[in-house]
């Protein structure tokens, strides 16, 4: 499992092993300031990061 969150200190505190920093507490996988196209691109990048973390043997 990989966790995507902007509340990194909480994820670290409980000892989550694969964590990707989200884009904001209230929009983890998005950014309302971007155009829809740009936002989707950002989201794809975040998801790809998350997928890479799933294949990792190392803590992230």
Partner 1 sequence: MRIVHYVNQFFGGVGGEEAAGSPLEERAGAVGPGLLFEQMMGEGAEIVTTLICGDNHAVEHQDEVVASVVDKVKKARAELFVAGPCFEAGRYGMAAGAICAAVQSELGIPVVTGMSEENPGTDLYRESLYIIDSGRQTAEMRGVMVKMADLSKKMMNNEKIGSPSEEGYLIRGLIRDEFVEQTAGRRLVDMLLAKVKGEPFESEMVSTFFEPIFMSVAVKDISNAKVMVITDGGLVPKGNPDNIEGMAATRWGTYNLEGLDDLKSEDYEISHGGYDPKFVQEDPHRLVPLDALRELEKEGAIGELHNEFISTSGLGNPLSNTRRMGKEMVEKVKEEGVDAVILTST
Of the candidate residues 9, 35, 37, 57, the single one contacting partner 1 (CB under 8 A): 57
- Quote the least distance from Cβ 44 to partner 1, whole Å: 4
- Quote the least distance from Cβ 27 to partner 1, whole Å: 4
Site mask, partner 1, residues 25-44, x = CB under 8 A? xxxxxx-x------xx--xx
Distances (CA, A) of 24 to 28, 53, 57: 5, 19, 26
> CA Rg, the chain, in Å?
12
Our finding on whether 21 is near partner 1 (CB under 8 A) is: no
Count other C-beta atoms under 10 Å from residue 33's C-beta.
9
């Amino acid at each position: 499992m990989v966790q995507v969150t902007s509340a990194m200190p909480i994820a670290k505190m409980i000892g989550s092993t694969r964590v990707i920093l989200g884009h904001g507490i209230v929009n983890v996988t998005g950014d309302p300031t971007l155009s829809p196209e740009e936002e989707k691109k950002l989201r794809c990048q975040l998801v790809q990061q998350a997928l890479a973390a799933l294949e990792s043997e190392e803590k992230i």
